Amino acid sequence: METTFAMLKPDCIERKLTGKVIDFILEHDFEIQRLKKLHLSTRQAESFYFMHKGKDFYEPLIKFMTSGPVIPMVISRKDAIEKFREVIGKTDPEKAASGTLREMYATDIRHNVVHGADSPENATREIAFFFPKIDLIK
């Protein structure tokens, strides 16, 4: 069993896709270990996306991620990181495989409904950012 980080973005919540996306995640054999809903402050968003500072998409990303609530989650299953990246699809919905969350629900490269950690290191960092001091079920 492997654990990873997922986050439903403001466009997902605004468009009332939360239930559909969570159902889709559960239908792909993921177990939700932790989940909460919150509204990121600018400071929190800047801290979470620090690695993108200075890139042309950084400021619009921060504005988008603070535009409404998000739902961060800790999810698990066998090969969770790799499988979740497959389930959500490529960042650009036009390049996302058929049947992936982003192909089905994303409207563009920024408004792509969901975030998923792309490595064990990032999963650990992202989980700790939103869920400090938790005991994960193994």
Catalytic positions: 115
CB 122 within 8 A of CB 5: yes
φ, ψ of residue 21 to 5 degrees: the values are -70, -45
Give the residues across from 6 on adjacent strands.
73, 116
CA distance to 51, 67, 107, per residue, from 85 (Å): 19, 24, 18
